[in-house]
Structure 1
Amino acid sequence: MRKIKLDKSIFNDFYWLNEPEKYYFENELVIKTEPQTDFWQRTHYGFRNDNAPALLTDLEADFSFAAKFKFEPQTKYDQCGIMLRLDSENWIKISTEYENEEISRLGAVVTNLGYSDWATEDISSEINSVWYRVSKRGNDFLIENSFDGTNWSQMRITHLHQDFEEIKVGVYACSPKNSSFKAKIVEMNIDENHWEAK
């Protein structure tokens, strides 16, 4: 397992898509989200947004990528999590999206050929720290979450339709409405694939 050091040396391997105005390192990466930023394409809501910050690296072959997040959202849809990306119309994001003081939406958005879908599970908004892990096997992906970094629960198995040899992987944070919050990335790891073959 390769644990990613969360300091300025991260830019030896990672790069920004839509670099945020405010971020810093303090043994973790802190991103201050900007209002009206999001990743979403077309479905149901009709709009298209591709302007949120994501810190990404390029990976080939199969892998597992895990990251731990802490967050204190302020407004509906505030979110931070893992991003996997081919381009603006083919990507996956995994996060907890704030709904209100009682519930938030633990889930994943999968965007294929320019259309997003969103699969969710309600969790308590008192939860403000979550691990996410995604494991790649070809064009298929196993998406999991954990509240302790040890015991993992399956959220979804999904597929990207667009063929690729390399995919961008990393973390993101955004505030689709007119709000802002601090998203903290506490740990990031790249490992061999944890998803067992059939």
Structure 2
Amino acid sequence: MTEHATEIAWSSGSWTNDPERVETDGTDLLVTAREGSDAWRVTSYGFVHDDEHALLAPMPRDSAVEVAFRLDFTAQFDQAGVFLRVDDETWIKAGVERSDGAESLGAVVTRGVSDWSLSPVPGWAGRVVTVRASRSGDAVTVRARVDDEDWRLVRVAPLDPAASVSAGPFCCAPTRAGLTVRFLSWRRTEADAALHPED
């Protein structure tokens, strides 16, 4: 799925909210999240958080973005992955989040209010996770993998074909200070040709 991938420079994006610290280490980007940062709207918890750290650039129709990072979480709700934003009330975050003592792969899709889905990924800690969001037609398809293993389907969500969308890497640290995420790459490529692989 990445035959024609193009690297996106870290300097090409703009932060939704400035992190505590941003550093480069060779080609990697090290992002330290502010304590209490998160993205959520209303559902179940009754609050709105829009202080995530997302580094965004325009995402054209019929394209995909891939974000890779090293998974090294220790606290409740540590999270990182890819963020797609239309406006304050319309956005998607997808990646890995530590919840109730375990790393889980999932997504939050927000259209006025948020929903949340998670699936445990035992054995992913300490490894390289790549999250891919592919925009085609009236939907965005999210996939993820660890190292060079097969892609897993995470989510298919509606997305207005006419919407102006920006996308890129994100991280949040809702419960603690000191979370630093090592992002390894940010790429743009062609949208997936199909929702399911052909046999």
TM-score (norm 2): 0.88
In structure 1, runs of 5+ residues without a counterpart are none
- How far off its partner does 1:100 sit? 4.7
Name the CA shift for 1:21/1:178 in 2 (closer, same or farther; >3 Å): closer
1:4-153 alignment to 2 at 5 Å? 4-5=8-9, 10-11=10-11, 13-26=12-25, 27-101=27-101, 103-112=102-111, 114-124=112-122, 127-128=125-126, 129-149=128-148, 151-153=150-152
Distance 1:36 1:169 in 2: 22
Name the aligned partner's letter for residue 20 of structure 2: E
Identity of aligned residues (%): 27
Name the CA shift for 1:197/1:34 in 2 (closer, same or farther; >3 Å): closer
- How far off its partner does 1:168 sit? 0.6
In structure 2, runs of 5+ residues without a counterpart are none
Name the aligned partner's letter for residue 38 of structure 1: D
- Alignment check: 8 A CA contact 2:13 2:56 kept: yes
Distance 1:127 1:56 in 2: 26
Equivalence for 1:181: 179
Name the aligned partner's letter for residue 15 of structure 1: S
Distance 1:126 1:135 in 2: 23
Q: What are the superposed Cα offsets for residues 76-120 of structure 1, whole Å, 9 maximum, x if unpaired?
A: 00111100001111000011111255x2221010001x2100111
- Alignment check: 8 A CA contact 1:98 1:125 kept: no
Distance 1:91 1:139 in 2: 14
SS at the partner of 1:166?
coil
TM-score (norm 1): 0.88
Distance 1:193 1:137 in 2: 6
- Alignment check: 8 A CA contact 1:60 1:165 kept: no
Distance 2:148 2:124 in 1: 18
Equivalence for 2:153: 154
Which portions of structure 1, spanning 4 or more consecutive aligned residues, are displaced by more than 3 angstroms? 162-165
Name the CA shift for 1:36/1:100 in 2 (closer, same or farther; >3 Å): same
Distance 1:194 1:169 in 2: 16
Equivalence for 2:165: 167
Name the CA shift for 1:163/1:151 in 2 (closer, same or farther; >3 Å): closer
- Alignment check: 8 A CA contact 1:135 1:195 kept: no
